Structure 1
Amino acid sequence: METNLKSKAVLITGAAKGIGRETAIAFGREGSRVALFDIDEAALAEASAAVTAAGGTAATFKADLSSAADIEEKVTAAIAHFGSVDVLVNNVGAGAVRTFDQLTDAEWDKTFSLNFMSYVRTTRVVLPVMRKQGHGAIVNNGSDLARQPEGVPIDYSASKAAVLALTKGLARTEGANNIRINAVAPGPIWTPFWTQPGGFAETMGKFHNMEPQKAVEHEMSLRQLPLGRLGKPEEVANVIVFLASDLASFVTSSVWGVDGGSIRAIA
């Protein structure tokens, strides 16, 4: 089946590592022109090389995606570089395991600034271009915790629920402009989001008073995933590429779970 993504201009936030990196490479395999945004310049360079090796064209933009000014400047520069934007993948995010009582206002603001407002701000820059072109696709990275929240991390869950509301709301208004807006909702995916210092695994270990790996195994047993394992970033990337492609031409306002069966609800 043909995705028709060859030469399409694709913008991906949080593209240096994890799901973002694998998504960039997946678009590279389709022959897309990919703009990668991240604050980690060294990892961006490595990811860019991987996109090129996969058969795509890559451009990198070091950006603080919690900064409104940086987003506007760098996303505008990427659109100018490619001359268009066909696909936006809002992927950047961060989280730590903290209880409601532990969270300060500053920590709530930090979580929402990166995990939600960065999506608002990139979309705000991209939509006028897509409307003028008369087409476009946006894929937002949500979470299974947006649809089935746990007590921790509650700030992360709330920010991702906001992402799904944004997805649904904008899909309603932008359908008339031939712009499709969908979301993926990954479950636990083994990426640097979990493994890096201060990431989910380390903070989960502190919360459960266990070694990080043991804490992750314990958490997975509590969630009772039918597939019994953490996912791989490329498994999410494959769904993102599908949603951005012509194969999903009649798909909008949808939330695609890539979660190993963690969500039990029918809808």
Structure 2
Amino acid sequence: MQTNLEGRKVLVTGGASGIGAATVRAMLTEGADVVAADHDAGLLDQLETETKDRPGTLRSVRADLSTLDGCESAVTGALDALGGLDILINNVGTGSVRTFEQLTDDEWLHTMNLNFMSYVRVSRTALPHLRASRNSPAIVNNASDLARQPETQPIDYAASKAAVLAVTKGLSRAEGPHIRVNAVAPGPIWTPFWTKPGGFADTLAELHGMEPMAAVEHEMKLRQLPLQRLGTPEEVANVMVFLASPLSAFVTGAVWGVDGGSIRALY
């Protein structure tokens, strides 16, 4: 099947690593022209070098997406590089495993600023340009299975992702029929989110008193995950590309689980 994304102008936030980088690679393979926005200039440079032979072109914008200025500069940088915008992938996010009692106000605000308010701010800045697009414009938001089925930890992360789903649903109604707005809800995905020092694997190791990999496997058993493994960034990126493409032309306001079967509810 052809995605018909060749020549589409795409902005991916948090595009330097994990699901964001996998989505950038997939979009470039489809021939889209992409801007990756991220705070990590080194990883952005690596991604540009790695993908230089793909059909699409990649440019990068360094931005602190936890701030209003950073969000606005990411969109401005994308417009300068691309001359317009057809697709927005809101992907940036952060989180670590902490109990409700451990979370301070500052930690709550940091999580909400990056995981939720960046989606609001980038979307708000990008919307006039998406409305002007004549290339089937779309927004795809990266949420989480924890938005629909929260665990005890990380509760701030789950709350931020539940807010993403609410905005996805509301914005899809506000911007239809011209702009489609959907979300993916990944389950546990083996990304730097898990593997980085102090990431989910390390914090689960501390929580369960095990080595990191053993703690992750233990957590998957506790969650009774049918596929009994973590997913890959590429498996989420494939769904991102589908939802951004005309292949999903009659899909809007939807939440697509890429979660290994972690969600057991009917809705």
TM-score normalised over the length of structure 1: 0.97
Q: Give 1:203's aligned residue.
A: 203
The percent identity for this pair of structures is: 61
Task: Tell me how far apart the structure 2 counterparts of residues 247 and 48 of structure 1 sit (CA, whole Å).
Answer: 27
Deviates more, 1:213-222 or 1:255-264: 213-222
Q: Give 1:259's aligned residue.
A: 259
Q: State the AA in 2 paired with 1:56.
A: G
Partners of 1:98 and 1:207 within 8 A in 2: no
Q: Give 2:143's aligned residue.
A: 142
| Equivalent residue runs for 1:119-158 within 5 Å | 119-133=119-133, 135-158=136-159
The alpha-carbon deviation at position 213 of structure 1 amounts to 1.3
Q: Give 1:52's aligned residue.
A: 52
Q: Give 1:189's aligned residue.
A: 189
Q: Give 2:37's aligned residue.
A: 37
What value does the CA root-mean-square deviation take over the aligned residues? 1.0
Partners of 2:35 and 2:81 within 8 A in 1: no
Structure 1: gaps of 5 or more residues: none
Partners of 2:189 and 2:231 within 8 A in 1: yes
Partners of 1:93 and 1:114 within 8 A in 2: yes
Aligned residues: 266
TM-score normalised over the length of structure 2: 0.97
- Per-residue deviation, residues 4-28 of structure 1 (Å, max 9, x unmatched): 1001001001111110001000001
Task: Tell me how far apart the structure 2 counterparts of residues 241 and 51 of structure 1 sit (CA, whole Å).
Answer: 17
Q: Give 1:64's aligned residue.
A: 64
Check if 1:169 corresponds to 2:173.
no
The alpha-carbon deviation at position 50 of structure 1 amounts to 2.9
SS in 1 for 2:48: helix
Partners of 1:8 and 1:33 within 8 A in 2: yes
SS in 2 for 1:52: coil
- Per-residue deviation, residues 67-118 of structure 1 (Å, max 9, x unmatched): 1112112311211221110100000001000010111111100000000000
Q: Quick check: which one's helix share is greater?
A: 1
The alpha-carbon deviation at position 65 of structure 1 amounts to 0.7
Q: State the AA in 2 paired with 1:86.
A: D
- Per-residue deviation, residues 168-206 of structure 1 (Å, max 9, x unmatched): 000010003x10000000000001110001111111111
Runs of 4+ in 1 over 3 A off after TM superposition: none
Check if 1:4 corresponds to 2:7.
no
Q: State the AA in 1 paired with 2:152.
A: G
Deviates more, 1:71-80 or 1:10-19: 71-80
The alpha-carbon deviation at position 53 of structure 1 amounts to 2.5
Q: State the AA in 2 paired with 1:245.
A: S
